[in-house]
Amino acid sequence: MPHIHNEPDQHDMTVSGYIVRVDGDEPRCLVHMHKKIGKLMQVGGHIELNETPWAAIAHELEEESGYQLSELKVVQYTADRVIDENNISHPTPFLMNTHNVGNEHYHSDLCFGFVALGAPAQNMADGESADLRWLTLSELREAAKNGEALQDVSNMFTFLIEHLDTYVLVPALDFSVEKPSGIGATYKHGAPGK
């Protein structure tokens, strides 16, 4: 999806998936060579106007990595969550940041951590980067050091892996990509956006 806000000093909301594979001798990080940036980075993209953040990361994961939510666990600080019949609960990102992508434009990014026990069952979508790599932390740090990967991607994967044992791993399918059907609040004066 293209940028929604194109004026200087505006922000777009994005989602990122930091996928760690733990079925080998040491954890490995999934990165891909971003076609426009030309650097190794995590999968993710813009939250489209008709998507929730969780629906956005679900479709970005499938398109860019081949993973479906059913194949992943999402890292959470607790297995407990608020249940409200009028709302849909989403997982908590392990980090949220805002970064400058040039031309006085910013992305505010919801960073979700995932754990995989194997390779994805499907391939990524046509037109996506075919240069997917599973790197150890030392390999990712070296790629960042030599300019092949973004340094912040290395920093975030490092934090995630170093703290992996402090998280609760929750099946990603425990969270719905649907929108709520109930109405929790109604505008009494005007309508949304007016």
Q: Where are the domains of the chain?
A: 13-174
* Nearest CA among 133, 174, 123 for reference residue 30: 133
Q: 85-89 contacts: CB < 8 A, separation 24 or more?
A: 85/182, 86/180, 86/182, 86/183, 86/184, 87/180, 87/182, 87/184, 88/52, 88/54, 88/175, 88/176, 88/178, 88/179, 88/180, 89/175, 89/176
Per-residue pLDDT of the chain (194 residues; tens, 9 = 90+): 566 766 677 778 889 999 999 999 999 999 999 888 889 999 998 899 899 999 999 999 999 999 999 999 999 999 888 877 778 889 999 999 887 777 777 778 999 999 999 999 988 888 777 889 999 999 999 999 999 999 999 999 999 999 999 999 999 999 999 888 777 677 777 666 66
Q: Which residues of 149-164 are buried (b: 16+ CB within 10 A; e: fewer)?
A: bbeebbebbeebbeee
Q: Any idea what DSSP says for residue 32?
A: E
Residue in the block written with tokens 């019949």: 85
Helices (H), the chain: 53-65, 137-145, 151-162
The model's pTM? 0.91
Out of 3.40.50.300, 3.90.79.10, 2.60.40.1080, 3.40.50.2300, which CATH number does the structure's domain 13-174 have? 3.90.79.10
Cβ–Cβ < 8 Å for 34, 41? yes
pLDDT of residue 155: 96
CA pair distance 172, 174, nearest whole angstrom: 5
Q: Contact at 8 Å (CB) between 91 and 73? A: no
Collapse the DSSP code of 65 into the 3-class scheme (helix H, G, I; strand E, B; otherwise coil) and give the result.
helix
What pLDDT score was predicted for residue 88? 86
Three-state secondary structure call for residue 113: strand
CA distance 175 to 194: 31
Adjacent-strand bridge partners of 170: 74
Q: Would you call 57 exposed, middle or buried from its count of C-beta atoms within 10 A (0-12, 13-18, 19+)?
A: buried
pLDDT score for 124 = 83
109 close to 14: Cβ distance less than 8 angstroms: yes
